[in-house]
């Protein structure tokens, strides 16, 4: 099992969710987060005053999936979240030792 964590632009969330649903992945956790990478933020003007926006709004998705579905999930996320501009996001894949469904007590892939 793997845990996929994807950080994407907020307006791409529906596209990513739809792409994952099309390949049969429906469960995910979504969080609104702020951060920056290479783009390092930017300067904006508001009512004539200039200020620096250092942290960009992003959405973090977490998906626990079986090893066999990892590549398909990564491909779906990449295609759906890509705008071709800086700040499109990142995907991190890490091993997931165990999963347990609280209601039934199922473990491993059965709990996903």
Taking residues 87-107, report their average pLDDT.
94
SS3 106: coil
Domain of residue 51 covers: 2-111
Taking residues 57-65, report their average pLDDT.
95
Q: What is the pLDDT of residues 1-12, one digit of tens each?
A: 999 999 999 999
- The sign one gets for the Cα dihedral 17, 20, 26, 27 is negative
Q: What is the pLDDT of residues 6-36, one digit of tens each?
A: 999 999 999 999 999 999 998 999 999 998 8
Q: What is the CATH number of the domain that holds 66?
A: 3.30.70.120
Number of separate domains in the chain: 1
- Beta-bridged to residue 65, according to DSSP, are 2
Using the CB atoms, write b or e for 64-95: b if 16+ within 10 Å.
bbeeebeeebeebbbebbeeeeebebeeebee
């Amino acid at each position: 099992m793997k845990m996929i964590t994807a950080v994407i632009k907020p307006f791409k969330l529906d596209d990513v969710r739809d792409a994952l649903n099309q390949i049969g992945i429906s469960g995910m956790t979504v969080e609104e987060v702020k951060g920056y990478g290479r783009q390092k933020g930017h300067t904006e003007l508001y009512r004539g005053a200039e200020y620096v926006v250092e942290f960009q709004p992003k959405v973090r998705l977490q998906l626990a999936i079986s090893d066999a579905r990892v590549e398909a999930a990564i491909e779906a996320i990449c295609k759906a979240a890509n705008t071709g501009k800086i700040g499109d996001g990142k995907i991190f894949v890490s091993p997931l030792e165990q999963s347990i469904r609280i209601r039934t007590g199922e473990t491993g892939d059965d709990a996903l």
